[in-house]
Structures are given as structure tokens and as C-alpha cells.
Structure 1
Amino acid sequence: MKSVIVKAPLRCELIDVPIPEPGPDEVLVRVVCCASNPRDWKAPDHLLPGVEINQGNEMSGFVESVGRNVFEFRKGDRVAAAHPMQTANGTYAEFATAPANTCFLLPPQISFEEGCTIPFAGCTAALGLYQRLKIPFPTSPDNAALQPPLIVYGGSSALGCFTLKLAKLGRFKKVIAVCGSGRAYVESLGVVTHFVDYRKGNVVDDLKAALDGEKCFHAVDAINDGKSWRQLSEILELDGSISVYLPRLDYSSIPSSIYVGITFFGTVHGQPTPGWDRRCEEDVDFAYVLFRLFGKWLSEGKMSGHPYTVLPNGLASVEDGLRQLKEGLVSARKLIYRVADTPGL
């Protein structure tokens, strides 16, 4: 089968490899669509230099086979799934594996294109909101209680948008989104009460104006550019919490009284968070429950995928997609690839 290896400096190589076998708790998926995330170029570029593997983590397609411990899925099922980071058999390929706890059935009305935009960003957003910030989960009785204001920095990113979609399942006094050119889509979600445009250069003052005297204890930093979390720390109460998403960064500029919840997608697959001594073993079962709810919420119209652009030439376009992400040319959209569009397949 064909598989894409991502290298540094950024370049991709389409190679031939054997079709993988699923592990005991895995499904093997015949990939129809796969999606790119910013980490896919950042990992070989500077996060884990020298590691050259298939960096894909999101996919949709048909179950081809299942491991001996898997009982919920069977050959031919339409699914979307997340592949463990930095492991073999990634999703930029004709076939890829995924643990059953991060796989869900696609409702009939949801396309493969939409489905593959959900697993990685949707799960990471949920980890940040519920597991790190301790916002009541939608199934909790406490979810009916009115929550203090929530700030989402980077509201038009995939991670930010899924955080806002999940916030719509709860109740907040205010939901404040910091974003720029992607505002139109964010506004269409119908949950944001106040917008702050970071391009105006007055983020802290504008956030204070949006809060209008309300205390804020919870913030999601979906950008993690250094400036973003410093600005949020000026707004949060001293006993507040902030969810961040790049574990290898130095967050020492955030006051020590503010809880910094490092949200690392790998914890749902039992991977330790780099540079953080906290064990998050509960995230494995959390993901199992969440992914079953993703299918239910999609079927009920409570959840939707992210806007996307399909690049031509399937797997042969992965390098172009990652380059667009690296150069900051993508806003409020996911880049996806239809495997069948790959020349020569």
C-alpha cells in the first residue's frame, strides 16, 4: 500500500509499505479521507527532530478488520478514528490502524469528508474543556448550572471551534472568542457572546471590556504562541485555570497560582505528557465514552465537523497541505485528502 512519510525540512515521500495488522485492541481502517493538523509538520520540524514517520492522525473510512479484543466494530462499518501520535501506521495511507477507544461509527448522513475533521481536534478540545478545566461534562447534572465566563483564544482554529461547539452543550454567562479573519464561521456557531479581534493589538483591554466586571476563571489557549497565554493570565483570576496544548513549551510566565492544564492528545492512548509529571490514565476511558457520544451527537445534530477544503491528488498533496499550515495560509478550515484521488491508485 501507499504511505506518506513526513520529513524535515518539510517534505513528504510517498512510499510502498505492507498493509498493517491491527493490534488486539485496534481496528484496521481502509482510509477514504484523512486530515492534516499543524502538529504534523511541527513534529519532524522541531518538536521531535529526526523522527521521520507517517504523521497522520485523523481519518475516516471502512473497517477492514479488527483485533481479537474488539467487539463493537466489524468489517464494512463506516467510521472515523484517531491514530496514536508518533506511532507506525499513520493515516496518510491507504490503510491505517486506530485503537477502538478513539473510533466511532459515522451516522449515515455524515460524509467521510466531514467525519475525518472530528476525531483529533474534537477529542483534544474535550480533554481541555472537561478533563483539564473541569467544566461539567454534558452528561453531568452540574451541566445545567450557569458557569462563569469562558474565553477561547484562537476561536477560529479547529481546536477553538470544537471547544466552542462543546461549550454550546453547556451554559456560560459569557463565551468570549479571540479570533481574526475566521470570525464569520465562529459567529455561525451561535454560542459566542463577545468577539475580540487580536489584529487590533488591544487583546487585554478588549477582553476586560467584554467581561465588563465579570470574573473569569477558565480560558482555553488554542494558539499557544507565548503572547496568547501571557495575555490570558492578565485576565484570569489568580485561582483560575488555563488549558494549553503544546507540552514542551515554557509556561513559567503564567502566575503560579493559575492552574496550567497541559492538554496532550496522546493521553487518550496511554501516552505520558512530555515534561509533565501528572498521570492522566483516566483520559483513556474518557475518550472511549466521548467517541461514542460523537456518533450520537452527530446523528442528533448537536455536533458537526469542521469546514474543510479537499486538496487534489490525494496523498500526493499532503506536502502541499502541510506547507500551507506551516506558512499560516489556512484559517477556519481543515485540509483533507481523498485517498482515491492519489495518482496511480
Structure 2
Amino acid sequence: MTGVLASQQIQTLIDTGALSASPPIDPAQVQPASLDLRLGTRAWRVRASFLTGEGRSVAERLNEFEMHQVDLTEGAVLEKGCVYVVPLMERLALPEGLQAVANAKSSTGRLDLLTRLITDGGTEFDRITPGYTGPLYAEICPRSFSVLVRPGMRLNQIRFRDGQAIVDDVALRALHAETPLVDGDAVIIDEGLGFSVDLRPASGDLVGYRAKPHTGVIDLDRIGAYDPAEYWEEVRSTEGRVILDPGAFYILVSREAVCIPPDYAAEMAPYLAMVGEFRVHYAGFFDPGFGHSPAGGAGSRGVLEVRCHEAPFVLEHGQVVGRLVYEKMAARPAQLYGTGIASNYQGQGLKLSKHFKSV
């Protein structure tokens, strides 16, 4: 059956050697519709981000752009504003017809930690062609905070697709009629499910957070350890609007509570480039079961990672800022997001990454 491979199908890829690693893949890496990827033992500091290009290897390109190497074995700091390439522990030997796509994990995106997958012969970030055989690399650029990393840390994840998986707008409307995908009456379906920003919270006037420009290092292994006030400024509004500053990074939240039914997955994507001088940094994947409850009436907000570009921009309550592109699963996962596995963001509202103390 075509679609996004579920956890038990990913396990089959591991068992057959299409997915391999040294050390071997930990069962905890397997998520409902994706596999977490682990950092290796060394990082290359490079002069600039790059794509490998057809017929060339990442190793060749590193020889061109390397500045120095960093041993991660005992832990090392990746500095804000610098670009690094880290070989991953996993490698692929995909069968023909099976393609893959990667994206940053939720906590990675919420730290404004730009993380993209590159491969030998690759002409796009985060896209792996059908039948690819070879190593995997993470390009990492800390944008707001310097971070302490170690081998085995999982900053990005990979999803596998067999054939066409995207649900078109006609099918998406039918699915929404059967199982509401979003709360409220105003449903926007246009190349996916549109979602907007919430700048009028049900209580209080806290609408988001803005990253402070000069902060300490964040150790990615420390969970619930950091005081948000040392890294973030609170963004408050009583008017249902905020003015985004160029170059600043914001954590906001969607107005809608969204649901991903068990037989589907979703990927967050920008809505339209023309709607404003900002970008939703989108961490990416929404697993089957996100915001879903068999009893109905559930849903979880989507956290928005927003960066303003060339000019200050007024963002207003209810403005559409992104869309969820739904994909059919090839099979229902053996375990769903928020059910039987550790799921940090099920039922979330406005929430920083798991590294910070709860507000």
C-alpha cells in the first residue's frame, strides 16, 4: 500500500538492512511515522552552507569548505551564527521507489536551530531520492542560541514515502467532514489545511516569546533546566497584534487546535510567500495521533517558529501564516503520538522547547 511508512514498516527497513547504523539503531529512535537520526562523533565547521550537487560527495565538498574540525566525543559547543556539518550514525540503502524526507524535530525548531539533511549527490536539502544508498549528514546552524551537543543526540528525523502520499483538497474536505481536523467554523483548505496565529489568548495578554540576542549556552541533554527569562523576552498584546522586528525569532501559537487522525500524518509548510515579510520556521512533522482523541473534541495547537525578514511587519490575530499538508499512511502505526510513547507536546498551547522550565 502506498503512503508514509509506519513505525512497524520502518522496523522492517532496519531488519532488512535498508536502514543501518553504527552503533545499531535504538528502538527508541522509531517514532509513529519517522525515525530519529543521531549525531556522529565529529563536526566540520564550514565557511558556508552548501548543497552537494549531482555526482559529488559531501566528503569532497567538505575538503573545499572546511575551516576546522570539532571532536564531539566529550561534548562540544556549536556557536551561534556558525555552520557545521556532522556525519550521522545512520545510513541508507533504499529500495527503488522508496523516497525519504527529513525535517528538524520539534525541540530543535523551537530553539531556532537550523538543521537540514544533506546527502551525496543531493540537489535539495532534506530530500532523499528513491533508491539512494549512502551516508547521511546534518547541516547545523544555531541561529539564536549556542548549543552543547554530544554524539547520539537526535536533532532531526526522517520519514519514508512509498509512492504518492499527499491528500488533495477534495479528499481533505471529505476527511474533515468525517473527522474534524480543526476546531471552529472557519476552515481554510487550499493546498492543505490553513492555520492562523493566536494573538488574543483566552486569558491574559501573553501571546509569545522573542529570543534574547545575548544568552548562555544551552546543553541539549538538559530537560526542564533553564529559566525562560534568561533566554526569552515575553511578547504581550492587548490589541491582537504584534510588530515583528527584522532578524528576530519568535515563538507564537496557532489559533486553531488541529488533529491528525491515526491513518494520516502531516507536514507544516509556509502558506504563501506573498502574505508578509516573515517566515514560519516550521519544525515539520506532525505524527499520526497528534491532537487526536477517540472520544472526539480534542486537538492540539501548533507552535509557530517565526522569523521576520527585511522590514518590520505587523502580524494580526487570525492572520493565516501556514498550512498543514496531510499525507496518507501506508499502515496505521503500532503506536500513536501521545499514546504509549513519550510525547512532549501533545495537548500543547503556547510552549517553549522541553529544555526550559514550565511557565
The TM-score with structure 2 as length reference comes to 0.28
Structure in which a larger fraction of residues adopt strand? 2
The structure in which a higher percent of residues are helix is 1
* Alignment TM-score, normalising by the size of structure 1: 0.29
